[in-house]
A and B are shown apart, each in its own frame.
Chain A
Amino acid sequence: GQQVMQIPQYQHVQEGEDFTTYCNSSTTLSNIQWYKQRPGGHPVFLIQLVKSGEVKKQKRLTFQFGEAKKNSSLHITATQTTDVGTYFCAGPPPSGSARQLTFGSGTQLTVLP
């Protein structure tokens, strides 16, 4: 079945440093979504990318969707303590419901003050 791999599993950074997490799918994705889960919380939708090569920015966060629509990345510039949490990428199956997402294993970000 479809697999979504995410690296690294953990990342510790000093506040102000940059952070990047990478996501790779075993199948071509119609779209890729990113979610953030704070410690003790629930996943919160960040963004959806649909087009090949798409780049979207949200303040200090930059999301990219690969040309082949099989990989994606999330880059955070100048991390802050509020960025702490686990970042998940997720994609729908090649056929079937868009709500049946396959989630990556997540990258747990720790920001040291």
Chain B
Amino acid sequence: KAGVTQTPRYLIKTRGQQVTLSCSPISGHRSVSWYQQTPGQGLQFLFEYFSETQRNKGNFPGRFSGRQFSNSRSEMNVSTLELGDSALYLCASSSGGLTNSPLHFGNGTRLTVT
């Protein structure tokens, strides 16, 4: 079974620009969560999508948004980039049912904002 695929692996953007990151979950997984990882703040939850609906959202500004498509693929968008948005963005898929199914992370997208 193929794992979680994130594209692109690396991105360099300038302050004020916007960026879109993509995530393809494990086949059959309907839940996609996004996390931001930085040396200072560690791993922080951004949001979760399940069946094309945002289920939960972390404590991030509205510049961070996402969506999920009918095939469970997900995208996250960050608008008006700031230097502090430089981070590793991790997508994780899970079966998403009522049980506490574990997260399967992708390799991440390393975003650098200059």
A residues bordering B, Cβ < 8 Å? 1, 30-31, 33, 35, 41-45, 48, 50, 88, 90, 92, 96-106
Contacts and interface: CB of A to CB of B under 8 A. Distances in A.
B67 interface: no
Nearest to B45: A100
Interface string B20-60: 00000000000101010000001111001000000110110
Q: Contact residue range for chain B?
A: 20 to 34
B104 interface: yes
B56 A96 contact: yes
Given A41-B107, A48-B100, A99 B92 contact: yes
B68 to A, nearest CB: 13
Nearest to A42: B105
Given A42-B105, A45-B104, A97 B55 contact: yes
Interface of B: 31, 33, 35, 42-45, 48, 55-56, 58-59, 90, 92, 94, 96, 99-108
Going nearest first, the 3 A-B pairs with the smallest beta carbon separation are A103-B43, A45-B102, A42-B105
Given A42-B106, A43-B105, A100 B58 contact: yes
13 contacts: A30-B100, A31-B100, A33-B102, A33-B103, A44-B105, A45-B103, A45-B104, A48-B100, A98-B99, A99-B33, A99-B56, A99-B92, A100-B58
B103 A101 contact: yes
A90 B105 CA distance: 14
B48 A99 contact: yes
Residue in A31, A45, A97, A99 with the greatest tally of chain B CB atoms within 10 Å = A99
A106 B55 CA distance: 26
